[in-house]
Structure 1
Amino acid sequence: MSEFVQGQRWVVDSEPELGLGVVTGVQARTVSIFFPQAECERNYATAQAPLTRIHYSVEDSINLADGTSGVVARVHEQSGLLIYELSDERLIPETMLAAEVSLHQPLVRLLTGQLDAPKWFYFRRQLDDAISRTWQSRLGGLLGVRATLIPHQLYVAWTACEHEKVRVLLADEVGLGKTIEAGMILSRLIKFERVARALILVPDALQVQWLVELVRKFGQMPALYSDSEHDFSSGQIHIVPHSQVEALSQQLQQAEFDITVVDEAHHIAPETEAFACLQGLSATSDHLVLLTATPEQLGAESHFARLQLLDPAKFTSLTTLHQQEQHYQSLNRRIRALPEGRDALIAEFKLDAELSDEELIDQLLDCHGVGRVMFRNVRSAISGFPSRKAIPHELADDSWVSRFEWLAGFARLNPDEKILVICQSIEQVKDCENYLWQKHGIDAALFHEEQNLIERDKAAAYFADGDQGSQLLLCSEIGSEGRNFQFSCHLVCLDLPDHPDLLEQRIGRLDRIGQSRDVHIHIPYAPHSRAALQLRWYHDVLACIEQQNPAAGTVHDTVLADTLSLERDVETLFSEAVINDELVKATRDQVKRLQASIQAGRDALLEMNSCRQPFADELAGQLALFEQTTPLELVEAASDLLNFHFEATHDGIYSLIPSDKMLVPALPGIPPEGAEITFSREIANHREDVMFMSWDAVFITGLWEMLHHSDLGAASVATLPSRQLPAGHCLLEVCFDMVVQSKQAAVCMPFLSSHSVRTLVLDISDKDLSPLLPEDSLQQNIQSVKKHLARDVVKSKKDEISSWYHKAEQFAAERKQALLDEAVRHARQHYEGEISRLRNLAHTNSAVGIGEISILEGKRDAVCEALAAHTHLQLSAIRLIVITG
């Protein structure tokens, strides 16, 4: 008798999207099947047809063609056709089954023979474990940042994000990475789904720098505001220049951003319409991050206005703020005098007398009101900065040819050194490049604003290549923004900028944390030239070349305004008639006075609070430890299973290229032409053209999402040679995902010790064997089965598989409850600890209000409820294992 009977229901193994087909005709060697869902008919050879019979079992839910559904109570067969008796006593021939059939469910795929190789099952489990470990680490949003792991930056980002509403002023000194800190905060909030839309307001000259930083260091794709057609309603991150804030005020306030970031916030004065826009954005955005290296430079009133933006309820009076600051200055002096006055401090602040001096200071730091909203790290408190050396080079004349000739000679004398060269304009850069090539055969890399990001990346990579790269990188003033080249220690200024802040920006390309050598700043000049006067002004008067001098810019602007009256002509300033001995002496005195004022105004308590140790170092250590294991093996396994090209090209760098034979249409985060990737943070920091493949990378997280929305690896059959288990019997390995269906899902994830549940059922046992047979050891002995044999196995065990699966569900439900009880306990402990700390702080720190505590209590309740009441198991993958002797 033929296997095929008219009226039977079958699916096509390679085209399950056709739905449930019905046999319409059977010939000697062919069978005709009509697919109602696709409205087409196909003919197949009866021998080895790529078809699987749909046969539902008792307790299966089935959908009917009339739109109703039911549960199978019994299965009858008559003349080769199946008749399903439902629990409501209806008799349903298989011809009445709905054409739509969901084969995305792993159990259905197993029962219908839609199988993948066993190694797919293990790969899904590896990927699940990797994602789970990342969530549990609570380091999400920091792992993928392309930057050196610097403790104070990590501390600022972590601590700021611990607040339910992140509203902070980042006031680190220039060069300490405020942009990195803000980017980390943004990245972390996005990772934990606390931010969906972001607005970044920046000085006009820094738009490209922010774009570069967000793209290259954080993997974000912001939209730059360009014209009135800009659509603020779409896209995740928008960058808007300060000059457009007033004009766009209404649009920005109506766009409903979750976070507003303002760089160089002191440039937006309180009395302006732009500041009024900030006030509106502050009221509508949950999170607000202000950046300024000079928080009080434009006066106490402006500083107070910015603090009011952050928290108007706490900062109500400038007089009160002054009184608090005087109290903190007194507390600073008392802390510096420890152990003298220790007993008085303990009594005044009701502290534990058993505390060490370090623990005592740590608790006193909590008393700093502004310290809860403001971070201020300073260079003097952070190790790792190099010395700076100004090296003038006298030339015979002031022509550009003389400068180019000197540069060629300097390069020849230092063949093993990388040299960064900066001049003001793009024309000078191009002329220099042409001269060096035509006259000396020197192939210098170019880096300027007319290049796109890819071209700049290639130029930076060519310069960074230690073997075959360029010795020189020629940059324009604007083109160098946002890029750092710590592997070089030689900066050549072929001209000097008109402002000390621009000069500091140039030097800052090399003078960064992580620079291992002294920075040499080379300045070619001709006697009595404008460059000579600039050199004297910056080096001898403002003292801002060999050191970072926060007073230099302010004094320069003051002299420009006072000396030149209304003209304010910088060309006039740099003349021998103006820069005379009298002006030099007066300016030096101004610099010293302002430096002394800045030093006297330092808030040591705030600085200590901005990078508490040892926590900051421990945080950097946790990240470094987590990264000791990279996703390399996972990517290798993915390339084997998905069929994309992956190979090592040279030390630490790999080529990853999609292929035409891939099992998926595209790879997440990888362009169609492929990419060079690295698993090394160090290489990624030097090679911005190479993709950093971290555990936070879009490729890793996207791969996980892609597999969980596909059938790949969902069902498989394997054999297990074993002497300990009875031959001929079966194991059913079943994996479930823990799915939190709540808007708090991302916040809940770190509290779950496992994001999946694995069970292992032996057909003749009522116990879960997963603890006795760990998946790693099981996988080492698993063997593949040819697909036709695997289907025969499934067919022979079909009636029993459902009962084994129900056992697995029971075991998983028990494990789920244990995991949820543990997660709720951890979540409650986490929030209760912080709530208790805030309640204690409220007695000594007026900046801590009852509202902040209430918000945290609400968060605790919401997270615990989401875990306990809105978490369910979702079948992820299933594997039938036949035990052989």
Structure 2
Amino acid sequence: MSEFSPGQRWISDGEAELGLGTVLNCDFRTVTVLFSASQETRTYSVRQAPLTRVAFGSGDRIQAAEGWFLTVDDSKEANGLIVYIGEDDDGELRELPEVRLADTMQFNQARDRLLTGQVDRNDWFDLRFRTLHHHARIEQHPALGLAGPKIDLIPHQLYIAEEVAGRHAPRVLLADEVGLGKTIEAGLILHRLLLSGRAERALILVPDSLTHQWLVELLRRFALEVTLLDEHQSLAHGDANPFDSGQLVLASQQWLFANPHRQAQAEACDWDLLIVDEAHHLDWSPEQSGPGYACVERLAGAIDGVLLLTATPEQMGVASHFARLRLLDPERYQSLERFQAEEQGYVAVAAAIDALEQESLDAPARDRLGAVVDDADSQALLTLLTHPESDADQRARARAQLREQLLDRHGTGRVMFRNSRRHVGGFPERRLTVTPLEAPSAYRRVLRKLDRDEDYLDELLIETGLDHPEVLLYLDTMYQALADDPLNAEPWWQFDPRVTWLLEYLVEHGDDKVLVIAHDKATAQGLAEGLRVLGGVHAPVFHEDLSLVERDRAAAAFADAEEGCQALVCSEIGSEGRNFQFCHHLVMFDLPQHPDQLEQRIGRLDRIGQRHPIEIQVPVFAGSPGERLLRWYREGMDAFGAPHGVGNDLFAAFGDALADALLDDESLEEVIAETRALFESRLAERDAGRNRLLELNACRPGRAEATAAAIGELDADKALPRYLDQALDIFGVDSQELGGKILHLRAGPQMLDGLPGLVKGEEGFSATLDRGVALARDDVQRLSWEHPLLREMMGRILDGAMGNTALALLKHPAIPTGRVMAELVFRTHCPAPKKLHINRFLPATAVRVLLDESGANLSDKVSFTGLAKNLQKVKKAVARDLIKSRHEQLRELLDKGEAEAERELPSIVEAAQRRMRDSLDGELARLSALARHNPAVREDEIQALRDERSALDAAIEGARLRLDAVRVIVTIDNETR
């Protein structure tokens, strides 16, 4: 009976929720099992298959696939398969081959283990019951997936994560300004989708320079282990598809986009979610697509969920921004011209929403609202809002509902989330200090010649091979390009006064970290050399040609608070993606040409969590083109004061004119004046139109507060430390208090194998239950109900047999010695595909039944906790003898308990269906109404919700109870031991 044959029925020891499996095929190495109820197929090694053969005995009641039931009298074997013989409910003698057993039927392991004398410790039984209770509570909790990560509770991040992760196949652009936490938002969404079962596999594509940062961030903040894939790792898989090597795969964009073969392999895999960071680098125009854009477009067309991340959605212009939206919804965003025309209408909607802020609407406000209210529901709200007899509460509710409707129905708010510093708040002051310096003679000589001779610029461009205006702005680069000139014999850093100025600045701020950014690799390398030679200062260099390990080593040397370097010298690549918020001194050794690059530089320090003013230092040569560029930034657009998001428009309009004015003060004045006028105009348009709508829609304070409160409830859950102590003890994990609310966990000598982060003979890890302590210590993990260690322990208990039987003794003066009680714990069982996330409505729910030996139900009279604390353990040999002597009595109690528990099932099912309908019917009605006004609501999203509701309704209706655990309690007198 131990060999596998097609048609045999088995259950998974580790995944009991899969239901009853059928052997499809087997050979001498593997066996493949289909679990039809949950639409899953598994392949196991024959030697180590975690499977248990389903075999029923006399008296068991089993169900056929057609729905009828059989009470087993006997069985026989035919060709390796069991055929059950017995009577159906009509008393007719029938046979039922095991291959025709109902897929939804569950094998009742607890009953069989008990009746064969297999019992576990009482504390195991207690932990099992409490695990069932806590698991059901947490799975239905509104903070599931958001409470565990090691993050600050920042409202806009929580709102976006809660909103996006709640959608079917979310496809959105996360476009918060630099420093507002797009990576955290994406991690929260991914984490919640994984915990809810809505996603199992994700592909994460990031710039090469950010792969390790993402790897560390996902592990440190979200306890998610990802597979970092590159060409070396891919080659190690031979002919196999390397993208099948992990559930969460992280890969470099540069590597994948340059390799058609690897792209085809990635596209051949099944993914639930695609995440693309720095998406503004994807090159697209109406005429053609770049290789990166084309790759992402193919992947996005095959993957249901897509998250695109960029802090500068319009850095390359409106067409570039449209290209991002087109990846998310190609049917909605087909025409660039139509998209631009739609944006013109957002001004009226934003004005109407602002009008709602008035306590009493005046005539102009009513007109602005009337111009955009275009359906009966909204018109009714507007009428109520302006009706003279409506009271304050009615008006407040109408105002809130009308605001929500307008935000939902207009603009790109469903597909794009953009928060800005000005409405998030909490950011530090930016302080700009400009230090004019006299240009050295080697630079002045060229600048004077440029002033005298208009044609010399063309000669200089030819001679250096540099572009205009780089040759004017980056004088050290120009000097190096003229290296053949005998006057240019010594390195530029030996005479450039910016180097000595920087050395003095470092001495002056000896206790502070200083980030230095220059425009290119050669300047950064030369500067680091100059600091070393002239001042004995070791400053690691961070540039684009370093390997990933070398970049991380440089960043780590800078970040080390005790023994690290004071300064880090970066090329322009250092201003994109990396987070250096532990530092608040930024030296711009030169200035970038593009305003968005300037903002990215500042954004490395100016981030949420920065506790100091940002000290921005710009050394500049007096009267030089660099000083003129500085004036354009300061006077034309207030570029150093705060991010404003219109830099790309200004550069597109005046970049060429600015380049021509770098040698002409009179032309520069004109360019600055025109830039300032357009700057103020663009800000007014932004505040009035689409950006205003995006800001209003990117964080709804009420929902954010509710989410934060739900997380706070789990943070303060007093049951967690009690449960953790008991679970660690039972699983054999040693726990040591280190003080400061920190524990050190390590594998004990008797630890059960396979617990995350704990290996016998190794150090273990430090952890805390306190969010604040965890955030203050990178080396301390945060324990929560969602931590992998907790989830692994709970999963093992729920999916295995641990603690599902026990026998205990009870001393009670009012109960005669030798009496038997049975404490039965049933649980709901509802096989369904993981993506339905049925646990939010009907998780495995415990039904406890306590019977005395006469069959009387004592459940309401004696609580689980009250009984458990009065029980005494008994040796296993004695327990087996007691059970053997009471076989028939226990069978009767088990049958009686099942009948008692079945009475509870209808109310459990009804409550679950009510929760499901209350949740999904409201969302379905909202989306259906919204789709009539906002084309960003996809029809497939609505249909998917209808299908989900129908599938959930059927799955919940089919819920059944199964015996999960049973404890036999025998009364004793004071002399009995």
TM bracket, shorter-chain basis: 0.7 to 0.9
Q: In the TM superposition, what is the alpha-carbon distance from 1:251 to its structure 2 partner?
A: 3.6
Distance 1:579 1:111, change over 3 A: farther
Distance 1:799 1:845, change over 3 A: same
Residue in structure 1 matching 2:400, options 325, 339, 358: 358
Distance 2:423 2:314 in 1: 20
The residue number in structure 2 matching 1:519 is 614
Distance 1:714 1:530, change over 3 A: farther
The residue number in structure 2 matching 1:881 is 969
Q: Residues 371-520 of structure 1: matches in 2 within 5 Å?
A: 371-391=413-433, 398=497, 403-404=502-503, 406-411=505-510, 419=513, 421-422=515-516, 463=561, 469=562, 474-475=567-568, 477=570, 484=579, 488=582, 490-493=584-587, 495=589, 498=592, 501=596, 504-505=599-600, 507-520=602-615
C-alpha RMSD of the superposition: 4.4
The residue number in structure 1 matching 2:822 is 732
Distance 2:684 2:83 in 1: 79
The residue number in structure 2 matching 1:112 is 116
The residue number in structure 1 matching 2:777 is 687
Gaps of 5+ in 1: 1-36, 39-55, 74-86, 91-101, 413-417, 464-468, 566-572
> What are the Cα deviations for residues 748-797 of structure 1, in whole angstroms up to 9, with x where unaligned?
10112763332222222332x33332323333323222334333432332
Distance 1:295 1:445 in 2: 29
Q: Residues 390-789 of structure 1: matches in 2 within 5 Å?
A: 390-391=432-433, 398=497, 403-404=502-503, 406-411=505-510, 419=513, 421-422=515-516, 463=561, 469=562, 474-475=567-568, 477=570, 484=579, 488=582, 490-493=584-587, 495=589, 498=592, 501=596, 504-505=599-600, 507-521=602-616, 543-552=638-647, 582-583=667-668, 586-587=671-672, 589-590=674-675, 593-594=678-679, 596-601=681-686, 602-603=689-690, 604-629=692-717, 631-662=720-751, 664-670=752-758, 673=762, 674-722=764-812, 728-744=818-834, 747-752=837-842, 755-767=845-857, 769-789=858-878
Asked if structure 2 preserves the Cα contact closer than 8 Å seen for 1:444 and 1:473, the reply is no
Does residue 1:349 correspond to 2:444, yes or no? Answer: no
Asked if structure 2 preserves the Cα contact closer than 8 Å seen for 1:385 and 1:512, the reply is yes
Q: In the TM superposition, what is the alpha-carbon distance from 1:884 to its structure 2 partner?
A: 4.4
Distance 1:137 1:392 in 2: 53
Residue in structure 1 matching 2:242, options 224, 231, 239: 231
The residue number in structure 1 matching 2:289 is 272
The residue number in structure 1 matching 2:271 is 257
Distance 1:400 1:253 in 2: 50
Asked if structure 2 preserves the Cα contact closer than 8 Å seen for 1:171 and 1:375, the reply is yes
SS at match of 1:370: coil
> What are the Cα deviations for residues 620-676 of structure 1, in whole angstroms up to 9, with x where unaligned?
2211222112743333222221222211223132211113322x1221344563112
Normalised TM-score (structure 2): 0.70
Residue in structure 2 matching 1:803, options 885, 892, 896: 892
The residue number in structure 2 matching 1:12 is none
Q: In the TM superposition, what is the alpha-carbon distance from 1:400 to its structure 2 partner?
A: 5.4
Q: In the TM superposition, what is the alpha-carbon distance from 1:710 to its structure 2 partner?
A: 3.9
Distance 1:485 1:807 in 2: 66
Distance 2:320 2:213 in 1: 26
Q: In the TM superposition, what is the alpha-carbon distance from 1:843 to its structure 2 partner?
A: 3.9
The residue number in structure 2 matching 1:207 is 211
> What are the Cα deviations for residues 318-362 of structure 1, in whole angstroms up to 9, with x where unaligned?
454344333332122233234235666477432233353233212
The residue number in structure 2 matching 1:174 is 178
Q: In the TM superposition, what is the alpha-carbon distance from 1:201 to its structure 2 partner?
A: 3.1
Distance 1:496 1:653 in 2: 45
Normalised TM-score (structure 1): 0.77
The residue number in structure 2 matching 1:21 is none
Residue in structure 2 matching 1:245, options 252, 257, 273: 257
Distance 1:839 1:410, change over 3 A: closer
> What are the Cα deviations for residues 397-436 of structure 1, in whole angstroms up to 9, with x where unaligned?
8475764564344235xxxxx6464566897999899999
The 10-residue stretch of structure 1 (501-510 or 283-292) with the greater mean CA deviation from structure 2:
501-510
Residue in structure 1 matching 2:310, options 276, 292, 295: 292
Q: In the TM superposition, what is the alpha-carbon distance from 1:873 to its structure 2 partner?
A: 3.3
Q: In the TM superposition, what is the alpha-carbon distance from 1:391 to its structure 2 partner?
A: 4.6
The 10-residue stretch of structure 1 (475-484 or 250-259) with the greater mean CA deviation from structure 2:
475-484
Q: In the TM superposition, what is the alpha-carbon distance from 1:865 to its structure 2 partner?
A: 1.0
Residue in structure 2 matching 1:337, options 335, 355, 360: 355
Distance 1:822 1:640 in 2: 36
State the one-letter code of the partner of 1:407: L
Distance 1:654 1:740, change over 3 A: same
Distance 1:130 1:476 in 2: 51
Asked if structure 1 preserves the Cα contact closer than 8 Å seen for 2:741 and 2:773, the reply is yes
The 10-residue stretch of structure 1 (832-841 or 304-313) with the greater mean CA deviation from structure 2:
304-313
Q: In the TM superposition, what is the alpha-carbon distance from 1:137 to its structure 2 partner?
A: 0.9
Does residue 1:829 correspond to 2:918, yes or no? Answer: yes
The residue number in structure 2 matching 1:315 is 333
Identity of aligned residues (%): 32
SS at match of 2:280: helix
SS at match of 1:371: coil
The residue number in structure 2 matching 1:867 is 956
Distance 1:819 1:435 in 2: 77
Distance 1:314 1:304 in 2: 11
Asked if structure 2 preserves the Cα contact closer than 8 Å seen for 1:541 and 1:584, the reply is no
The residue number in structure 1 matching 2:53 is none
Distance 2:126 2:532 in 1: 57
Distance 2:146 2:181 in 1: 15
SS at match of 1:298: coil
Distance 1:287 1:883, change over 3 A: same
Asked if structure 1 preserves the Cα contact closer than 8 Å seen for 2:768 and 2:782, the reply is yes
The residue number in structure 2 matching 1:370 is 412
SS at match of 1:618: helix
Q: In the TM superposition, what is the alpha-carbon distance from 1:610 to its structure 2 partner?
A: 2.0
Distance 1:439 1:343, change over 3 A: closer
Distance 2:592 2:931 in 1: 49
Asked if structure 2 preserves the Cα contact closer than 8 Å seen for 1:404 and 1:435, the reply is no
Distance 1:186 1:579 in 2: 53
Distance 1:676 1:327, change over 3 A: same
SS at match of 2:884: helix
Asked if structure 2 preserves the Cα contact closer than 8 Å seen for 1:59 and 1:72, the reply is no
Distance 1:623 1:133 in 2: 14
The residue number in structure 1 matching 2:150 is 146
> What are the Cα deviations for residues 785-816 of structure 1, in whole angstroms up to 9, with x where unaligned?
23343334323323322221222222333323
SS at match of 1:648: strand
Q: In the TM superposition, what is the alpha-carbon distance from 1:135 to its structure 2 partner?
A: 1.0
Distance 1:138 1:582, change over 3 A: same
Distance 1:597 1:495, change over 3 A: same
Q: In the TM superposition, what is the alpha-carbon distance from 1:252 to its structure 2 partner?
A: 3.6
Asked if structure 2 preserves the Cα contact closer than 8 Å seen for 1:461 and 1:688, the reply is no
Count of aligned pairs between the two proteins: 783
Distance 1:651 1:586, change over 3 A: same
Q: In the TM superposition, what is the alpha-carbon distance from 1:394 to its structure 2 partner?
A: 8.8
SS at match of 2:748: coil
